[in-house]
Amino acid sequence: MRVSSTSLSLVLTAVLTACSSDGTAEGPKAETPDDPNRLLALPKAGYQIEIVGAEIPSGVDTEYCEVGEFPGTPGQAYYVNRIEVGKAPFSHHVFVNAAAPGSEAEAKANEIGVGNRVECVSAGTTFGEGVTTVAGAAKDHVDLRFPEGVGQVYYGGQKIITDYHYFNTSDDAVHANVATNFHLVDKERVKKLARGYSVMHVGFTIPPLGKGTATAQCLFNHDVLVGGIQRHTHRLGTDYTVWSVDRDENLTELWKSEDWQEDIEFTFDEPVLVRAGEGYRYQCNFENPENRAITFGTKATDEMCNLFAGWWVVNEDDEVGPQSCVLFQTDTDGVARGVAGAAIGAPVSG
């Protein structure tokens, strides 16, 4: 693991006074890397955590969780309003996760050790309670900027777990690499913590040489504000549609994507209030050219039908738990339904 920092004194002051044309404060801008081996330029005010990585042989489809660490002393708080993730070629996807101090996940991360990695299917299933998703990336570079007043907080010595899935389709071995930039701001600029909503539909099958459809719905159990939504399917995914769902299950179409690699995220013009008992329904359509049935799985040659979103509380003092579902069962109308925290919609990390 490589941790690099930039000065946080005069630079941070300059960042806090910079404004865009509409009067909102901007996060620091990355500069052109002076190190050709660096995936991302260092943030002007913040830290970069880069994994040690692994050599991925030709033809290998594998996933690792590697332990990193936020710099500084325990209890020292860092407030973040922008996160960048960069990943090297042949990466299928990346999830950057934080282990809560004092949690089961932190104990497991300490046992494995900083700079070490284990095979995994997700940080949550491998490290246990206390894993929170920081950011995800399906593209080579993701730049996540939170609205003013919204962000995340991390602590000196806090463990950062990078979950990286690689499928090396080249003829040569490649080195897996991921870098994450944490752009820092003053404490006063982070009044609400950003969190993740995820829905995983795991009970579908795509027939050989045919088409398939998977439809899922997950309702929130608390009033929240949502900033945007993101699709996740693999290579067989064709069109993908998302609707908002009210308490009477009335649907309003929000977004339709027809590209599983490039058109994967939709950001609302303004954060949207979603009340308890409301949520999202989405549908994944697939075309299977192979002479075998394909189901949900963690390999790049399997398939997924997931929906992700970023959310935060409505009021600063709201107590809100995880808002996510894993869905196994499908109702007679073909929709897999769940409520965050309920048995059929068991919450996942985030």
DSSP helix/strand/coil, 134: strand
Q: Which residues lie across from 151 on neighbouring strands?
A: 193
pLDDT reported for residue 2: 75
From CA 211, how far away is CA 288, in angstroms rounded? 6
Mean of the per-residue pLDDT values for the chain? 86
In this prediction, residue 119 carries a pLDDT of 95
**CATH number belonging to domain 2-193:** 2.60.120.310
Closest CA to 279 of 317, 318, 252: 252
Alpha helices in the chain (DSSP H): 10-17, 104-112, 123-127
Token reading at 71 = 């710099």
pLDDT confidence of residue 125: 85
How many percent of the chain have pLDDT more than 70? 88
**pLDDT tens-digit map of 126-159:** 999 998 888 888 888 989 999 999 999 999 999 9
Question: For position 9, what pLDDT does the model report?
Answer: 29
Q: Are 96 and 160 in contact (CB under 8 A)?
A: yes
Instruction: Using pLDDT thresholds of 50, 70 and 90, give the confidence band for residue 322.
Output: confident
Asked if residue 344 has pLDDT above 50, the reply is no
Q: Is the pLDDT of residue 8 over 70?
A: no
Fold matches, 2-193 and 195-339: yes
- The ranges assigned to domains in the chain are 2-193, 195-339
Residue 332 has pLDDT above 70, yes or no: yes
pLDDT for the residue 7? 36
Question: Which of the listed ranges 36-50, 103-117, 187-201, 299-313 does the model predict with the highest average pLDDT?
Answer: 103-117
Query: What pLDDT band is residue 93 in, cutting at 50, 70 and 90?
Result: confident
Looking at the domain that runs over 195-339, which CATH code has it been given? 2.60.120.230
CA distances from 11 to 15, 151, 186, 222, 307 (A): 6, 19, 12, 39, 37
Please calculate the CA angle 76-81-86 and round it to the nearest 5 degrees.
100
121/125 Cα distance (integer angstroms):
7
What is the C-alpha separation between 323 and 301, in angstroms, rounded? 28
pLDDT per residue as tens digits for the range 161-206:
999 999 999 999 999 999 999 999 999 999 999 988 889 999 999 9
